Each structure stands twice: as structure tokens, then as C-alpha cells.
Structure 1
């Protein structure tokens, strides 16, 4: 069995299932677990996320989308060399990963048609379902069930501890710095389970652009800064983009000292097993 993972989250799932030795190709963003450094990269990005600011990234992504261009490139030669019989991909967000159409076109270089598994989770339960789906496709159903049972138990432990909590702080999750975006998909659900009041983000729906005036009107008591694809160091380096705003000082979360920078790349952006770590962090 030869697996290509076109998502960092599915790469993590493959390793959790004990199938790291079957992984023959991944993306430039796959960085966990550490063993992935020895795997060949099949997908690359035209954007250097480490060098560009959040505003520059947004401008380029918006420009590419308007022109019908992708931000990602599939290396057909490397894909052909990898020769996968299973490809794990998604159709959830073309900003975050290669599109389904690109995958369909790329596999034409292979001498066979691999099984393409497209995963589109928007809730915590659906994230767990993707683990079971990959388990079924790879003959590791038992291991997948063990993993998801353990993850569900951890979620329920948090839920049961806080479900009757009446004093729920208003929580805003900043998923992009400039322009500001509010966290979507599973993030609003995470906030609610963790004992917070989610007021702007929409469960099961993508993140979306908001204004600082809207954030001020919501008056969050806690602010979690989690730019999609950023780690803590990258976020800190760009923090003045938000802290220099006049509106920043009008937020109750600022006055209360309830500002938290979290590792979005590891615990919030990727729909994989570590999303439960993110819930526990919240």
C-alpha cells in the first residue's frame, strides 16, 4: 500500500494509524510528526508563508482566486515516482490546500487510477469520522476506532465539566490578522464545549472577514489569536498589526489581560487528532 497525503492533517492521521512506512508523498506544509522530514514532497506552494506578512498573503491569495489560479503546485514527476494507490485530499478549502480538480488532473500521469479519498470535515465529530474513513480504506479499522474512542472520551470530559457553566465569557477567535477573520468550521464548536460564548463565528461554516468595529461591538472578554497556518513565533512577529489598532484598546479582553496566542498550525487549523489538544487548551 502506497499513500500520498495532500493535507497535513491526514499525514498526522496516517502516522497515528501506524502507517508512516506506507506514506510515499506529502505536502510542503506537513511537519508533524518529526519523521515526515524524510518523506518526499509532492505538493508545493507559490507563496513563502515564512517571509510574507498576513496582508501580503491575503492579497496574493485573493489575486490568484480572481484570476482562476491556484496557490499550489503538484510536482507531477515526484507524484509519478511516488506511484500511490491511495491519495488523501480535500475539497473544503482551496486556500488551505490543493483543489480536487488539480488532483484529478495530476493523477493522469500515473499508469493507473488510485483511490482518491476526499475529506471535508466541518465539525469535531466529522474530524473523527475522517479517521475512521482512512482506517477503513487502509484496513486499520480497529486502530482507528481505538483512536476515535479515546478522542471522544477526552472531548466528553471537557464537555461534562463545563456544560452547566453559567458564567460563559464572550470569546473571539482571530483566525487571520490582516484583514481580520473570525474562526469557522469546528472552532465555534470548540469554544462552546470549552465553556465560552461564541458570538460571531458560524459553526460548520468557513471563517470569514470581519471589521474591527464588529469585534468591538461583540466586546470579547477573551481573545484567542490563531492565524491559520501560523505557529506562535510567526504570530508574535506580526502581532503589531493588531495591537497598533485603536480598536485593540477598546476590547474588554485587552483590559482584562485575557489575550492568548495559540499554535494554530498544531492545534486549531488542521482537522486531525490534535484538534482535541486545542479544545483542552481552550
Structure 2
């Protein structure tokens, strides 16, 4: 089957299902697994790459207000590839090309391809979407096995947290303006032994104020700017060191949001295991695949370099016991 993936998380899922050879095109943001980077790219961002977080937020809001697209789709390349299945999403208008545009284009193709929209808002729906994608691609049993393996790992984290005291955990999905994580992130926090005082499971991420975040009295702050890797997340955290220090959290870390939190794909389970270590390092060791995705931040001394493989650092600089479509 010839499959065009217009969602990074779908690309990851397709490769995890063993369907990499069936994927004929991806988006400019599909960077995992590495093989995906060599495929034809169907999209590009209309947002300049050199903008800071506040400018990005402003540009996105203005474009949406004018009814303009955030991403541009190369219609001609898609036509020439003759896909049989196009995977898209309608969950987030700033995360991928418009699902309506994709469906309109698909209707013009001959023969018209199947269009599957994956729009999960919870971890359970992410797993259900993997099953749906596998079924649409003709490998339902592979989808079942993928989901069973993911569910078993989730259960192991849940069991490890049995009886643990919940730590108040704030997930910051953007810093200027502040956004608190939504959709599956609050659920991940709960499964990882935390309590999210700001976000709501299954609901969209939302803007907040620094005063509101401070009033929530988080024990743990996870900086996970949507689409950023660990290094860029850490840069943003250090730029807002004073704001983060004012929260007086015991633990502040920056994570690879793009890999483990922003994208609703198989690696959310890696993110859950990483989050469990951040919140309860005395119960869960740092997962091998998550070590490079975690950068401790000491807000009071944020300009100092930190190691990606070091144990989490508390707000006062002492070591403790041990983060997107």
C-alpha cells in the first residue's frame, strides 16, 4: 500500500508497525525514525524559523485570525505519488496541514485515496488510533501487538506508583506566553505518580499566567515547549530562569517534547517512563532511551551548563535521588 503521512506521530506509528517501505511521503517535521528523513516531504512551515517564542505565538495567532494556513501542502508532489492512504489530523490547527484541505485534495485524485484522520486527546485514544491505522493499512494484528506492548509498559509504570504520594507537577508547553499541557499530558502526569493542578486530561493545552502557575505550588516543573528537543527546551528554560525560580519547585527539568510528549505516537510511552523517573526518581530509574531527553535545570543558576545524563537537579542546586502530533 502507498501511504502518505501528514502527521509525524503517524509516521512513527507506521514505521513501528513495520510499514516503513509503504510510506511514500511525509512532512518536513517527520524526523523519526531517521529513515523518514529521506522520504519526499509534502509540507513546509509558513512561520519563519528564526522567531522567538513570543513572536511565534503572535505570528500563529495572526495567521489563524486572517484565515491563513500555518503549513503549506505540495499538492503536485502528492498527486504524482498516487497514495492509496493519506493520514492526517484535525486535532490541532497549528500542528499540521488542514484536514479539510487534505480531504478536498483527496477527492480530486483518481482513484481517490482513503483519508484517515487521527485525533486523540487521551493516551487510550492514542493507542486506539494506532489500531485504526494498522487496520487501514491492512495489518490489524500488528496493530494489536503494538498496542499490547505499549499497554504492558503503561501498566508497569502504574504498578510502580502504587502507594506513592502524588507530587504536584506543572507541565509547561510554552513559556511566552505560558501554556500548560493538555490532552494526554495530565493523564501521563497522573500515571507517573503526579498531580496536575493546572491541566485537564482530554482538554486542550491552555494559556496561563506565571502568577497562576506559582499559586499552584508545583513540586515538579517540566519544561516541554511543543515541538522542541531537549536542548532547545533547556535554552528556553534558562531564558526564563527567574520566572521558574519564583515557582520554588523542588525539581525543574527540560525534556525532549517533540519526541516524548508533543506527538501522540508510540514514544509517548517512553515519555511516561521518563516522567515517572522525574516525579519519583526513588521509584523509577531513568529509562535508557530517555537519558538524553532529560536536562536538569537549576533556576537560580540557570546560566550554568548541565549534563543531559545527570540526575534531576532541585531548585536549590542539590541532587535528587535519581518529557507533542
Tell me which residue corresponds to 1:207: 205
Tell me which residue corresponds to 1:196: 194
Tell me which residue corresponds to 2:83: 84
Measured in 2, the distance between the counterparts of 1:109 and 1:79 equals 11
1:191 is paired with a residue of what secondary structure?
helix
Shift, 1:191, TM fit: 0.3
Matched, 1:130 2:129: yes
Contact 1:228 1:264 in 2 (8 A): yes
**RMSD between superposed Cα atoms in Å:** 1.2
TM-score, normalised to structure 1's length? 0.94
Tell me which residue corresponds to 2:245: 249
Shift, 1:108, TM fit: 4.5
1:239 is paired with a residue of what secondary structure?
helix
2:116 is paired with a residue of what secondary structure?
strand
Measured in 1, the distance between the counterparts of 2:5 and 2:245 equals 43
Contact 1:178 1:241 in 2 (8 A): no
Contact 1:53 1:238 in 2 (8 A): no
Mapping for residues 24-173 of structure 1, pairs under 5 Å: 24-49=24-49, 51-165=50-164, 167-173=165-171
Give 5+ residue unaligned stretches, structure 1: none
1:171 is paired with a residue of what secondary structure?
strand
Shift, 1:38, TM fit: 1.4
Measured in 1, the distance between the counterparts of 2:160 and 2:237 equals 33
Measured in 2, the distance between the counterparts of 1:105 and 1:54 equals 32
| Alignment CA distance shift 1:31-1:269 (3 Å) | same
Measured in 1, the distance between the counterparts of 2:81 and 2:44 equals 15
Contact 2:106 2:115 in 1 (8 A): no
Measured in 2, the distance between the counterparts of 1:270 and 1:131 equals 13
Contact 2:197 2:216 in 1 (8 A): yes
Query: Number of paired residues?
Result: 275
Measured in 2, the distance between the counterparts of 1:155 and 1:186 equals 13
TM-score, normalised to structure 2's length? 0.82
Contact 1:175 1:207 in 2 (8 A): yes
Higher relative CO (Cα under 8 Å, sequence separation at least 6) belongs to 1
Runs of 4+ in 1 over 3 A off after TM superposition: none
Give 5+ residue unaligned stretches, structure 2: 276-325
